Chain A
Amino acid sequence: MKRRDFLKLGTGIVIACRVDPLWAFHGRGQMPRLDYPTDFNAYLRIGGDGRVTCFVGKIEMGQGNMTSLSQLVAEELNVPLGAIDIVMGDTDLCPWDLGTFGSMSLPVFGPVLRRAAAEAREVLRELASERLQIPLDSLVVKDGTIHDAQHPDRAITYASLAAGQVITRHVSGPPPLKDASTFTIVGQSAPRRDGISKVTGTAIYTGDVRLPGMLYAKLLRPPAHDATRIRIDTTAVGNVKDAIVIRDGDVVAALHERPDEAAKAAALIGAEFAFGAAALDNANIFEHVVNAAPAGQQVVSTGTVEQGEHLASAVFEQTYVNGYVAHAPMETHTALAQWENGKVTIWASTQAPFMVKNQIATALGVPPDRVRIITPFVGGGFGGKTMAPQAIEAARLAKATGRPVQVAWDRAEEFFYDTFRPAAVVKLKSGIDGAGHIVLWNGDVYGAGDGGAEPVYDIPHQRVVVHGGWQNPAPGHHPFGVGAWRAPAFNSNTFARELQIDLMASHAGLDPLTFRLNNLSDQRMRRVLQTAADRFGWRPLKAPSGRGVGVACGVYSHTYVATVAEVALDSSTGHVQVTRVVCAQDMGLVVNPEGARMQIEGCITMGLGYALSEEIQFSHGEIADRNFDTYQIPRFSWLPKIETILIDSPALPPSAGGEPAIICMGAVIGNALHDAVGVRLLQLPMTPARVKAALDRRS
């Protein structure tokens, strides 16, 4: 940090902190370099009323960063949490941010924000020192008031310092950050700042924004991903009073001042489509995902496969598969666009407003500075709202009509245009020696991606090659859009790895926990495993023990997680009910313990879905699942008793919180099911039909 600037804006001061973009990544070599703004970007404003407004490019989609980021600012500034207001995801008001995904709000952006707040505090102390004529090191700050440590009556507030000042300062060196041992706000559970608005129905989501003269649009959609429109007839739309039709290239839409009337009108558009030769479906997709895979990338290389095979006394080969999974947020993709004087403002349900800004600029052919994205509350994202095609649609239709236009996908559109978690095939070959040590790990991962592909165990000879993944999928690898789905690639890879570990444990005659600990030297991993097992009351028995208990573990973005679960199986139907889940997580410094627990619970609950029921049904480019009748997501009656344990590691920086606990869910249920009845399901989800078929094959 070379300098800092204070600028006057409105009634308060803007503290434009120059933030070294690499600062956030010290000691985190594997994190990508991000370009948080280095000049003229205000993270904080201290008003004349003493309130602190915090500007962040992150968005709130339920994960609670509105609260935890506010805690960081309040802590470093020494103001009460209640004095913080936070503006999120507005590209005109907030500093650039890559997007809200990858559980990065606290680990990556948190330090940037902390530093900005710490710097503000230090500059305000300098100002106070000059104003009060008290040496800097005699001043302390409490609740937004700076006072002489010896004479508390000699004091001045942030509010009075900030009011009416234009300050430009040049200082050197990073501002001192508070030591974790002195924290009073960070590390304490804080009530959610969005609570009252969300329980009273006053929280504004994109679909709730109203503008004078706005129209609602419903677009004509193809029946299948490989269908092309050959003829349309919009004459019948006139049967709906006041409905209008817009044809703008590939966009054909009916618009109306009432959303339901727009949908009714759109349904009257006659259209004929030509279908392509798409031949993929749920049955042949796995063969395709292997055969159509792009060239592999070796992500792990330790020792040699030959040497590992030589050392192994037993070798195990298995292939694990999982189908496509939808994000299915309760709020569908929604956007509202308004053009004024050549500038477009778009309210959008998105996880990445700054990406969408560029997306709009490109699609509409306008300079990025003529695009403003505002992100109201987002009704769930899970990785599915990174891009915002609905925002492009709204912007085009608003331009064509000259009126504000809302595009809100219905549930069928949401399923059709989702960027699914990709179908995946994981082929593993592993081996153990006579002492029960893993000596060989040879994996090929198709479709999923590299996240979690690296075995976390101590294995001298490892080779893992990843053939295509969720990110930038090769053309033709998947028959429709795929993308990040909560802990991308990790769910597929952890399922395969942790079932493979159990397979070897059974062969070695050891209980799954002991076998894992025998092959793990990583102390953080050992600790979460032992902690979860202790809380569960784990009794070591070789699987299958008939009890229906299982264990799985993994690491996601520096966060260690271990899960122990118990299942009950109805062998007449194949229905698996998870009855108890204990999850221990080590995520470094925990900013908001209750918030962290909520994320773990959410991961466990969402994980029940991909483990037990969720799999998109499709054929010939058509998505058969269009709503929650056929696509079943977890319900109240599915819920196990959930126990969460946060390992206290305040000396470590905060690491991921929103995703880690979901990665074990397929594996822990699969392992528990095997422990119950001795069958291993190698395909997710473990539907009643598949469980029943496996039981029948065994008998």
Chain B
Amino acid sequence: MRAIAFTLNGQPQRVSVDEDRRLLWVLRTELGLTGTKFGCGRALCGACTVLVNAEPMRSCQLPMSAVAGQSVRTIEGLGQADRLHPLQRAFIDRAAFQCGFCTPGMLMAAYALLLKTPNPSATEIIDSMDRNLCRCGAHTRIVAAIQSVARGQGERP
């Protein structure tokens, strides 16, 4: 057990946990943030993607020790129902999801991409999203949604 302090969605956070526990489970259990999903447990599907500082990370593999002192952003910190992030708005407008289970990870991966590359080409979007899996087949709509935000059809993230 160790008290680990970090920033979560812009707010200071402190949890006492074993430092080798993975961030995903601490988010979903102790911290009650269930938007981040378990899909594969081995960093192969991207459903658990969160941002650590500006980097997209697979929270199912990320030990709490790596989070100490860092800034973590989850889907809950991207935007809320009454003030959606432009990417969230674009996902709704383009119907860029079906079952929605991969969606939080998709949005966080896309958010990380736009932080680094505000105006990505379609190829850059596909390259950067390729390790995020969607079984329902919303891929082309997800690319279109990200492109619509990148083209400035919404405020800069």
Contacts and interface: CB of A to CB of B under 8 A. Distances in A.
B99 A378 contact: yes
Interface string A46-75: 000000000000000111100000000000
Interface string A146-175: 000000000000000000000000000000
Nearest to A327: B135
Contacts of A634: 137, 139
Contacts of A261: 21
Contact of B92 (A192, A410, A629): A192
B47 interface: yes
B58 to A, nearest CB: 12
A626 to B, nearest CB: 9
Contact of A64 (B34, B41, B98): B98
A330 B99 contact: yes
A329 B78 CA distance: 25
A198 B81 contact: no
Interface string A615-637: 00000000000011100011111
6 contacts: A260-B25, A603-B137, A627-B44, A629-B42, A633-B133, A639-B126
Nearest to A378: B99
B45 interface: yes
Contact of A328 (B76, B135, B143): B135
Given A199-B92, A627-B40, A629-B42, A379 B100 contact: yes
B127 interface: yes
Given A198-B100, A200-B79, A379-B100, A598 B88 contact: no
B138 interface: yes
Interface in A627-685: 627-629, 633-637, 639, 642
Leading 8 A-B pairs by shortest Cβ distance = A201-B35, A605-B137, A62-B99, A379-B101, A62-B98, A198-B100, A201-B75, A602-B137
B95 A594 contact: yes
A658 to B, nearest CB: 10
Interface stretch (A127-135, A202-210, A571-579): A202-210
Contact of B80 (A195, A200, A639): A200
B95 A628 contact: no
A628 B44 contact: yes
Interface in B19-48: 21-22, 24-25, 28-30, 32-42, 44-45, 47
Contacts of A208: 28, 34
A272 interface: no
Contacts of A606: 135-137
A259 interface: yes
Given A330-B45, A411-B40, A627-B44, A260 B21 contact: yes
A594 B80 CA distance: 25
B22 A196 contact: no
Given A411-B39, A601-B141, 5 more contacts: A207-B34, A408-B38, A636-B132, A636-B142, A639-B126
Nearest to A262: B25
B114 to A, nearest CB: 15
Nearest to A639: B139
Contact of B107 (A199, A257, A378, A635): A199
Interface centre among B33, B92, B107, B125 (most CB of A within 10 A): B92
A327 B131 CA distance: 19
A184 to B, nearest CB: 21
Nearest to A602: B137
A633 B78 CA distance: 28
Given A330-B39, A380-B135, A411-B42, A200 B84 contact: yes
A377 interface: yes
A468 B18 CA distance: 52
Interface of A: 61-64, 191-192, 194-205, 207-208, 210, 257-261, 328-332, 377-380, 382, 408, 410-411, 594-595, 598, 601-606, 627-629, 633-637, 639, 642
A595 B47 CA distance: 23
Interface of B is mostly: loop
A202 B35 contact: yes
Contacts of B131: 635
Contact of B36 (A198, A201, A378, A628): A201
B35 A61 contact: no
Interface residues of B, number: 60
A197 B81 CA distance: 8
B32 A380 contact: no
Contacts of A603: 137
Interface centre among B35, B36, B74, B136 (most CB of A within 10 A): B136
B44 A598 contact: no
Contacts of B38: 207, 332, 408
A205 B98 contact: no
B125 to A, nearest CB: 8
A636 B141 contact: no
B129 interface: yes
B34 A191 contact: no
B35 A330 contact: no
A192 B97 CA distance: 10
B91 interface: yes
Given A201-B76, A207-B38, A331 B99 contact: yes
Given A198-B97, A380-B99, A637-B130, A642 B140 contact: yes
A393 B47 CA distance: 25
Contacts of B147: none
A408 B97 CA distance: 23
Contact of A201 (B25, B30, B104, B137): B104
